[in-house]
Amino acid sequence: MDDTTLTTHGLTAKTGGRILLLACGALAREILDLIKINRWDHMDLHCLPAILHVYPDRIPDAVDQAITKHRAAYDDIFVVYADCGTGGLLQQVCDAHDVKMVAGPHCYSFFEGNTAFAAQDEVTAFYLTDFLVRQFDAFVIKPLGLDRHPDLRDMYFGNYTKLVYQSQTKDEGLIALAQTHAARLGLAFEHRHTGYGDLATALSDQA
Amino acid sequence: MSDEEDDIILSELNDEDLVAQMFDDLYDGLKEEIEEGVNILLERGWQPYDILTKALVGGMTIVGHDFRDGILFVPEVLLAANAMKGGMSILKPLLAETGAPRVGKMVIGTVKGDIHDIGKNLVSMMMEGAGFEVVDLGINNPVENYMEALKEEQPDILGMSALLTTTMPYMKVVIDTMVEEGVRDDYTVLVGGAPLNEEFGKAIGADAYCRDAAVAVETAKTFMARKHNQGVTA
């Protein structure tokens, strides 16, 4: 399992379980880790390409098609996306299929814990998770054209004040890498270790 | 840009070719070339308003269409906008001196909790290019900012922008406050931003949802014409 494949193609893990976790590719490592730790052998994982994060308008249709495709093979499907910029459209898809999804506006919120995140007043913070720190070029630099036009940086990030790295794992190498990303964007750096936050409880509720 | 185009000397082109070249330069986001083109046209006696509408807005409209059609993407549009901004910075003081036509007045800002202003800035620039006076409230505006600006500036149009699904519902807070204070019908309310759609615009009580800057300009013009006609028939 490499990050580039998760970004562009997603992942199909083992089959034959009772419950399918239909997830964003950016969450694959965390979900597989939770499955392993908790011995949720009855849960299979299918991830959509993580790059959909950059095109949230495409998420509802992609999830809709995946649910339709896998529905017959499972007792239940749990969608491991939050709203993720779909403006409620993903919730409508899930409701139409009578399946549940993760609560909250996005992964930054549920990793931090939705209640704690909502209580924070951080409108000028730009967030990265473990996956996004590793895939920074694919998710930030290239889609925004900063590889070709670095001079556009302040038009995109001029109103931000800090980059917050929400770490799921404790990895000094990733912290150092996140710091270089902050410097590249001209932002102050803050590291908060969140672990898996509400993701762990959301999956536990389905297990 | 090709080597052949690098050799083009703008001052040697006739007016028609120069404007066509400025369209290309705007499309390619070449700020210095746009500034040079604007200065050449001024030296040739063009009116600032004509340069703005025929060279800059004309070129930016093509950029807008290609963005809408998926040919250009955000980085290219930003570069084009930056180039247009360079040209407008030369023209703006001259437009004020020469008394360019004024189509209407707009107050615009991103809503509370939202700091993403790329779309809002594009709309502001295109509205100015279309002859609107624009009062830009900037980012992260609570309802009080909008209400105060409406009272002080007496615009024709209020524009609100949001990029986040978590902040876009705040537009309804502003419109509801306008209703409560009995001023909603005094203004045309236009809303825009990536996660919005027409259905959302209707649901919150806006007059129109504008998909992009070009649509915002056309919609604003339509409402101004309607207002003008109502004034004539009233």
- Summarize pLDDT for B53-67 with one digit per residue, the tens: 999 988 998 998 898
Please state the rounded mean pLDDT for residues B111-120. 95
Q: What is the CATH number of the domain that holds B165?
A: 3.40.50.280
Q: What is the CATH number of the domain that holds B31?
A: 1.10.1240.10
**Amino acid type, B49:** Y
Please state the rounded mean pLDDT for residues B187-200. 94
Residue of B nearest to A83 (CA): B165
Query: Is B117 in contact with A159 (Cβ distance < 8 A)?
Result: yes
Residue of A nearest to B199 (CA): A87
- What is the distance between the alpha carbons of residues B87 and A20, in angstroms, rounded to a whole number? 56
Task: Give the pLDDT band of residue B1 (cuts 50, 70, 90).
Answer: very low
What is the full DSSP assignment across chain A? --HHHHHHT-EE-----SEEEEEEGGGHHHHHHHHHHHT-TTEEEEEE-GGGGG-GGGHHHHHHHHHHHHGGG-SEEEEE---TTSTTHHHHHHHHHT-EE--SSSHHHHHH-HHHHHH---TTEEEE-HHHHHTHIIIIITTTTTTT-GGGHHHHHTT--EEEEEESS--HHHHHHHHHHHHHHT-EEEEEE-TTHHHHHHHHHH-
Among A155, A156, A161, A185, the residue to mutate for chain B (most B Cβ within 10 A) = A155
Contacts of B195 in chain A (CB under 8 A): 56, 85-87
CB nearest to B75's CB, from A56, A85, A152: A152
pLDDT of res. B234: 45
pLDDT of res. A75: 95
A 144-183 → B contacts, CB under 8 A: 144-146, 148-149, 152, 155-156, 159-160
Contacts of A142 in chain B (CB under 8 A): none
Q: Are residues B30 and B109 in the same domain?
A: no
Taking the Cβ of residue B70 and every Cβ of chain A, the question of whether any pair is shorter than 8 Å is answered with: no
Residue of A nearest to B168 (CA): A87
pLDDT of res. A111: 97
The DSSP bridge pattern shows strands A100-101 and B157-161 to be unpaired
Task: Give the pLDDT band of residue B40 (cuts 50, 70, 90).
Answer: very high
The 3-state DSSP class for residue B2 equals coil
Contacts of A148 in chain B (CB under 8 A): 75
Does residue B231 have a pLDDT over 70? no
- What is the distance between the alpha carbons of residues A155 and A133, in angstroms, rounded to a whole number? 21
Query: Is B78 in contact with A152 (Cβ distance < 8 A)?
Result: yes
Q: Are residues B71 and B118 in the same domain?
A: no
pLDDT tens for chain A, 207 residues long, are 788 889 988 988 667 889 999 999 999 999 999 999 999 999 999 999 999 999 999 999 999 999 999 999 999 999 999 999 998 899 999 999 999 999 999 999 999 999 999 998 899 999 999 999 999 999 999 999 999 999 999 999 999 999 999 999 999 999 999 999 999 999 999 999 999 999 999 999 988
CATH code that applies to domain A4-102: 3.40.50
Question: Which of B20, B22, B26, B24 lies closest to B39, judged by CA?
Answer: B22
Q: Are residues B127 and B209 in the same domain?
A: yes
Q: Are residues B118 and B90 in the same domain?
A: no
Contacts of A105 in chain B (CB under 8 A): 165-166
Domain boundary among B40, B68, B98: B98
Q: Are residues B110 and B217 in the same domain?
A: yes
- What is the distance between the alpha carbons of residues A158 and B75, in angstroms, rounded to a whole number? 15
Token duo for residue A71 = 């529905």
**ipTM score:** 0.83
Q: Are residues B93 and B112 in the same domain?
A: no
Asked, for residue B20, whether it belongs to a domain, the answer is yes
Task: Give the pLDDT band of residue B230 (cuts 50, 70, 90).
Answer: confident
Please state the rounded mean pLDDT for residues B17-33. 96
> Which residues on adjacent β-strands are paired with residue A125?
A162
Asked, for residue B5, whether it belongs to a domain, the answer is no
Contacts of A123 in chain B (CB under 8 A): 113-115, 140
Q: Are residues B121 and B55 in the same domain?
A: no
Q: Are residues B93 and B110 in the same domain?
A: no
Give the residue extent of every domain in chain A.
4-102, 112-193
- Average pLDDT of chain B? 91
Number of structural domains in chain B: 2
Domain of B204, in residue numbers: 105-232
* DSSP E strands, B163-216: 188-192, 208-209
Query: Is B74 in contact with A144 (Cβ distance < 8 A)?
Result: yes
Please count the residue pairs, one from chain A and one from chain B, whose beta carbons lie less than 8 angstroms apart.
45
**Amino acid type, A51:** I
CA of B15, closest CA in chain A: separation in Å? 31
Query: Is A149 in contact with B73 (Cβ distance < 8 A)?
Result: no
- What is the distance between the alpha carbons of residues B19 and B230, in angstroms, rounded to a whole number? 37
Task: Give the pLDDT band of residue B23 (cuts 50, 70, 90).
Answer: very high
Q: Are residues B94 and B121 in the same domain?
A: no
Query: Is A149 in contact with B75 (Cβ distance < 8 A)?
Result: yes
Taking the Cβ of residue B195 and every Cβ of chain A, the question of whether any pair is shorter than 8 Å is answered with: yes
B 93-112 → A contacts, CB under 8 A: none
Query: Is A145 in contact with B114 (Cβ distance < 8 A)?
Result: no
Among A59, A109, A123, the residue to mutate for chain B (most B Cβ within 10 A) = A123
CB nearest to A155's CB, from B118, B196, B197: B118
Q: Are residues B84 and B115 in the same domain?
A: no
B 197-216 → A contacts, CB under 8 A: 197, 200
Cβ-proximal residues to B28 (8 Å cutoff; 6+ apart), any chain: B1, B79, B80
Q: Are residues B122 and B198 in the same domain?
A: yes
Query: Is A145 in contact with B200 (Cβ distance < 8 A)?
Result: no
Taking the Cβ of residue A88 and every Cβ of chain B, the question of whether any pair is shorter than 8 Å is answered with: yes
pLDDT of res. B232: 55
- What is the distance between the alpha carbons of residues A164 and A190, in angstroms, rounded to a whole number? 5
Domain boundary among B67, B98, B129: B98
Asked, for residue B2, whether it belongs to a domain, the answer is no
Q: Are residues B86 and B119 in the same domain?
A: no
